Chains A and B, each alone.
Chain A
Amino acid sequence: MADIQNYSINFGPQHPAAHGVLRMVLELDGEVVVRADPHIGMLHRATEKLAETKTWIQALPYMDRLDYMSMVCNEHAYCRAIERMLGIEVPVRAQYIRVLFDEITRILNHLMFIGSHGLDVGAMTMMLYACREREDLMDCYEAVSGTRWHAAYYRPGGVYRDLPDGMPQYKESKWKNGAKLKKFNEARSGTFLDFLQDFVARFPKLLDDYETLLTDNRIWKQRLVDVGIVPPERALQLGFSGPMLRGSGFAWDLRKKQPYAVYDRLDFDIPVGRTGDCYDRYLVRMNEMRQSNRILQQCIDWLRANPGPVLSDNHKVAPPRRADMKSNMEGLIHHFKLCSEGVHVPEGQVYSAVEHPKGEFGVYVISDGANKPYRLKIRSSGYAHLSAMGEMARGHMIADVVALMGTIDIVFGEIDR
């Protein structure tokens, strides 16, 4: 009989299912994975080191580029760290806007998750549907910040500006004209909140559509059920957080357990899985989108009723209004100081964590009183999840590795930093 040996294959660094640049050395026994060793760092940009050379505010746009699927949630953790060290109050309306955008981002991220997870496992339709809805939400990003992805919208002390009164509209073109153009622009004729309200109203129905496509789909279940089971005690040991931890049966959500911003005033539930397999984690994320939709509705109602400032009036931290800067000497000085030297954050250290769509995203900063961070450490959830890949993949078929990668919901921006 022939002598059969294990053999190793190289998965990535360029592979459509690698969600970016992941190289994984897989040792196989037939089609069964014996050992999986992820090699990361192909997207390492040393964000933390770069931040040490920039002022506190200049480092903020780097946060968008970490987990580039959930941009403003990263900013939220960073801004909160600075705000806590400076001890400044954020206006309530700004906190509501932050929660609103955190939840928009959560939906964006989870849509991308089911889209790409579906694509990995062989359900191509999901990606197309998910991108259709993502388009509307990215228009929201564009309306408030001018960019569709890297918003830099949250600032220490609040948000950059208030929600706009109008939405950008489609212009007449060869492809969109007449009645069609009118239909496209129908929801965009009102304010930003009207547009979002329209989305919130139709989103549950769309989620039901996705569920009919996937939840009871035989192929989908065959690929996900009982794949990558993580028992609760292992989930704790491996440092899991977010949907990965909830999939294993812990009702742990920082928004509920250690509430930040205005999450303690909002009504929502934490979906929890039972078996800790890929299918449960999928169900948890689907349910989270429904909960996010509920939160969006509550935020919209509150924001409609309560106008007010959205940026702190402490001009040592947040820039003064444009008009003040033009007419007022003090405003001009503040603006100049902020834009040249930046904020001086008092000496100390702080760890601020938020419930990011992928898990716990934490920013640990050490300040020595300078206008730049002394040390910035970004704790990304995907990093801990991917480090468990070896354990999760062991004993599974090689095709399941792709399903596992989807279920972790990895984005290399945050893992490699």
Chain B
Amino acid sequence: MSAKLELLSRNLQKHLGGRIAGMQTALGEITVDVDAALYPDVMPTLRDEPELAFEQMIDLCGVDYSTYGDGRWQGRRFAVVVHLLSIARNWRVRVRCFAPDDDFPAVPSIVPVWNSANWFEREAFDLFGIVFPGHDDLRRLLTDYGFIGHPFRKDFPVSGHVEMRYDPEQQRVVYQPVTIEPREMTPRIIREKNYGDVENG
């Protein structure tokens, strides 16, 4: 671990201390797990504390862990992952917050802390159905007007549920159930450790 990463990890421990659920360092990056209840409390600290100084929210995305490791996943299903960047201190951190309820995933909004979160939260709502209480304009963003479902959830088929075509009789565009068969060209495989007697085989 480089000196900078060590300092960041120390500062995070110092200022967030008991408020974080876990902290991992891997591949030169720090991931902090935060409970949804403490999330609105932790985020302003990350921005305002001069020893952390994360002025920028670079990315926010939803993750659906339901099929992780072909069903190995034990924890909650939906998470929101936030990437923060400090320009003053030139470091990054990743904050992960699991939504407590799988059936109605909700994570507090961080738009008041970083305004750039606005569209990112709308996207996570649109694609994963994660609700952000405190967001005042939580509309769909990327999908079609009137779209039903949350397409990036793992139980949503890649080919979708409806397709669109021009109907010459009605002389307008109509929606109908998809007519294409789902197919998989390359199966998804997770090999056991040391498969073929090599690392990372």
Q: Is the A/B pair a real complex?
A: yes
| Contacting pair B69 A362 (CB below 8 A) | no
Q: Does B26 contact A (CB under 8 A)?
A: yes
| Contacting pair A236 B55 (CB below 8 A) | yes
Q: Which residues of B contact A360 (CB under 8 A)?
A: 58
| Contacting pair A351 B94 (CB below 8 A) | yes
**A41 interface neighbour in B29, B69, B141, Cβ under 8 Å:** B141
Distance in Å from the Cβ of A110 to the closest Cβ of chain B?
23
Q: Does A48 contact B (CB under 8 A)?
A: yes
Q: Which residues of A contact B70 (CB under 8 A)?
A: 368, 370
Instruction: Please report A residues at the B interface, Cβ cutoff 8 Å.
Output: 40-41, 44, 46, 48-50, 53-55, 58, 84-87, 236-239, 241, 250, 252, 257-258, 316, 340-342, 344-351, 353, 360, 362, 364, 366, 368-372, 374-375, 377, 379, 383-384, 386-388, 416-417
Q: Which residues of A contact B3 (CB under 8 A)?
A: none
A176–B33 CA distance with the chains assembled, in angstroms: 65
| Contacting pair B58 A239 (CB below 8 A) | yes
Distance in Å from the Cβ of B37 to the closest Cβ of chain A?
24
| Contacting pair A239 B69 (CB below 8 A) | no
Given contacts A368-B190, A369-B190, 4 further A-B contacts (CB under 8 A): A344-B191, A371-B186, A371-B189, A386-B119
Distance in Å from the Cβ of A313 to the closest Cβ of chain B?
14
Q: Which residues of B contact A340 (CB under 8 A)?
A: 186
Between A and B, 17 residue pairs with Cβ closer than 8 Å are A50-B158, A87-B200, A236-B55, A237-B115, A238-B115, A238-B116, A239-B56, A250-B87, A342-B186, A344-B190, A347-B69, A362-B58, A364-B81, A369-B191, A370-B70, A371-B188, A375-B63
Quick one: CB contact mask for B105-119 with A, threshold 8 Å, 1 for yes? 000000000111011
Residues of chain B in range 152-201 having any CB-CB distance to chain A below 8 Å: 152, 158, 184, 186, 188-191, 195, 198, 200-201
Q: Which residues of A contact B68 (CB under 8 A)?
A: 368, 374
Residues of chain B in range 57-88 having any CB-CB distance to chain A below 8 Å: 57-59, 61, 63-64, 68-70, 72, 81, 83, 87
A85–B200 CA distance with the chains assembled, in angstroms: 10
| Contacting pair B152 A49 (CB below 8 A) | yes
Residues of chain B in range 94-149 having any CB-CB distance to chain A below 8 Å: 94, 114-116, 118-120, 141-144
Q: Does B40 contact A (CB under 8 A)?
A: no
**A364 interface neighbour in B59, B87, B114, B151, Cβ under 8 Å:** B59
A350–B81 CA distance with the chains assembled, in angstroms: 12
| Contacting pair A58 B56 (CB below 8 A) | no
A58–B191 CA distance with the chains assembled, in angstroms: 19
Q: Does B31 contact A (CB under 8 A)?
A: yes
Q: Which residues of A contact B152 (CB under 8 A)?
A: 46, 48-49
| Contacting pair A258 B190 (CB below 8 A) | no
A128–B151 CA distance with the chains assembled, in angstroms: 41
A360–B195 CA distance with the chains assembled, in angstroms: 37
The 8 lowest CB-CB distance pairs between A and B, nearest first, are A239-B116, A41-B142, A387-B119, A379-B59, A377-B61, A236-B55, A368-B69, A44-B142
Distance in Å from the Cβ of B136 to the closest Cβ of chain A?
13
Q: Which residues of B contact A40 (CB under 8 A)?
A: 141-142
A416–B61 CA distance with the chains assembled, in angstroms: 14
Distance in Å from the Cβ of A186 to the closest Cβ of chain B?
46
A349–B63 CA distance with the chains assembled, in angstroms: 12
Q: Which residue of chain A has its CB nearest to the CB of B184?
A: A53
Q: Which residues of B contact A346 (CB under 8 A)?
A: 200
Q: Which residues of B contact A371 (CB under 8 A)?
A: 186, 188-189
| Contacting pair B119 A383 (CB below 8 A) | yes
Distance in Å from the Cβ of B86 to the closest Cβ of chain A?
10
Distance in Å from the Cβ of B119 to the closest Cβ of chain A?
4
